[in-house]
Amino acid sequence: MSDVLTILLAGGKGTRLEPLTRDRAKPAVPFAGMYRIVDFALSNCINSRLFNILVLTQYKSLSLEHHVTQGWSRFFHPEFRQSLTIAPPQQRVTEDWYLGTANAVYQNLYSVERSGAEYVLVLAADHVYKMDYRRLLTFHREHGGPATMATLRVPLAEAAGQFGVVEVDPDARVTGFQEKPEVPTPVPGDNENCLASLGIYVFTARFLIDELRKNAECADPGHDFGHHILPQIMGREPIRAFTFSGRGTGAHGYWRDVGTVDAYYQANMDLLADPPGLDLYDRTWPIYSFQPGSPPPRVAVVPEPPDRPSTGARHNIFANGAVSAGWVRGSVIGFDCRIGAGAVVEDSILFDRVMVGPGAEVRRAILDKGVQVLPGGRVGCDADEDRSRGFGVSEGGVTCVAKDTIVNGPT
């Protein structure tokens, strides 16, 4: 894999994840108690033996850059010609910030050329999945075209209005792209499914460099791969679609775009299913991250509250340093959280250093880092009450409380 440069696009605003992205980039949002979203793409790179990575950052990138530097530099050894480079907008070619996925790469063509890579793998840093990129790269080399798009087979009803859909012929050659169509085009020979674009691309480096330069010379250059660059190439160059299956990672083809509060919440809840949607405990394809030196979690076994309907066993995730004396069910608990005696936390996600006081209730909610729910306080129990206190409530009814908020108890 030494002839591959990986470009990790990590500069999006993440406005649909507010308030979780109020002070951090979307790829830096905590996930599964012990990780950040960016850890999944980076772990896929490590497991695929890809050790030349350019991370393009932009908005509110401080915590993301700190996490990548602190948690990931240990995997890369310059003496073996390995590199992990963080690149905010350099303004080498224009005075603009990154204007889109293609423009971000265009502004870093100096680094692409300097790398000497034969192939360029372009990834988004805000998706949750396990993927062996070597299979994608092998597919690209074998078909011999200048570009390959990674896709996922998705039922038509699920894709409608939700995914960008790639149209292909029977030979997997890309013939068109539909942006979140209400009536997706099915896969040839399979009227039940379509191919959703994953925002993952492989390019032959020389072709990519030339194409981006030609595009920049246009009167109205396009700035995005999916919307502009690839549609311009279709028809005159053979672009193929690679169908992601999860092979090589010990898992099925699980992939989630966690760009909205509801999608982010559901992806965390998928980890608690039996079996989990994405198995973090399968050592076939480990997920790495920076792990602070916290003690192991300490969780009390408490009886179920008398007013709760019994639904059988439910899983929880506790990160290191968490101490719980309350009743917790179906929840993801981050580093160094505290849950007091008599508290109830159900179907919720707690970021690092959240405190839920004695007798407090948290239901179907996401509490950002440092939130304090004082004794007797309630979150997620009444949507109108939550909105009146300035908390966000998603379309799916998930309450989000911003970082360092203090939630008072009864007066």
Is 326 part of any known ligand binding site?
no
171 found inside a domain: yes
Please tell me the predicted confidence (pLDDT) of residue 144.
Answer: 85
Residue 276 lies in a domain: no
What pLDDT was estimated at residue 69? 93
Query: Domain check: are 194 and 252 in the same one?
Result: yes
DSSP 339-355: E-TT-EEES-EE-TT-E
Q: Please check whether residue 278 lies inside any domain of the structure.
A: no
Decide if pLDDT at 93 tops 70: no
Q: State whether 313 and 238 are in the same domain.
A: no
Is residue 93 packed enough to be buried (19+ CB in 10 Å), middle (13-18) or exposed (0-12)? middle
Does residue 238 share a domain with residue 97? yes
Does residue 396 share a domain with residue 303? yes
Task: Give a yes or no: residue 282 inside a domain.
Answer: no
Q: Strand pairing of 174-178 and 165-168?
A: antiparallel
- Which of 120-134, 161-175, 282-296, 310-324 has the highest mean predicted lDDT (pLDDT)? 120-134
Residues 28 and 170 occupy one common structural domain: yes
Choice between 2 and 353, residue whose per-residue pLDDT is larger? 353
Give residue-wise pLDDT tens across range 362-378.
Answer: 999 999 999 999 999 99
pLDDT at 33 > cutoff 80: yes
Q: Answer yes or no: do 186 and 97 share one domain.
A: yes
Q: Which residues make beta-bridge pairs with 321? A: none
Is 237 annotated in a binding site? The answer is no
User: Do 255 and 304 share a domain, yes or no?
Assistant: no
Q: Which pLDDT score is estimated for 310? A: 66
Rounded CA separation 386/396 (Å): 14
pLDDT of residue 286: 94
- CATH code, 32: 3.90.550.10
At 72-86, the pLDDT tens digits run: 999 999 999 899 999
H or E element: which one contains 261?
A: helix 261-270
Confirm whether residue 197 is marked as ligand binding.
Answer: yes
Average pLDDT of the chain? 91
Q: What is the mean pLDDT of residues 311-328?
A: 90
- Same domain, residue pair 307 and 224: no
393 pLDDT band, cuts 50/70/90, is very high
Residue 160 structure tokens:
């409608």
Residue 411 predicted with pLDDT over 80: no
Q: Is the pLDDT of residue 384 over 90?
A: yes
In a domain, 65, yes or no: yes
The confidence band for 251, taking pLDDT boundaries of 50, 70 and 90, is confident
Per-residue model confidence (pLDDT) at position 378: 97
Is the pLDDT at 1 greater than 80? The verdict is: no
Provide the percentage of residues in the chain whose pLDDT is more than 90: 69
Q: Note whether 247 and 324 are same-domain residues.
A: no
Residues 211 and 306 in one domain: no
- Domain of 133? 4-270
Q: Are residues 260 and 142 in the same domain?
A: yes
98 assigned ligand-binding residue: yes
The answer to whether 289 is annotated as binding is no
Please write the tens of the pLDDT for every residue from 336-363.
Answer: 999 999 999 999 999 999 999 999 999 9
Number of independent structural domains in the chain:
2
**Same domain, residue pair 265 and 310:** no
CATH number at residue 340: 2.160.10.10
In this structure, of 12-16, 145-149, 251-255, the range with the lowest mean pLDDT score is 12-16
**Neighbouring C-alpha atoms within 13 Å toward the C-beta of 96:** 12
The per-residue pLDDT for 25 is 92
Over 70: is that where the pLDDT of 313 sits? no
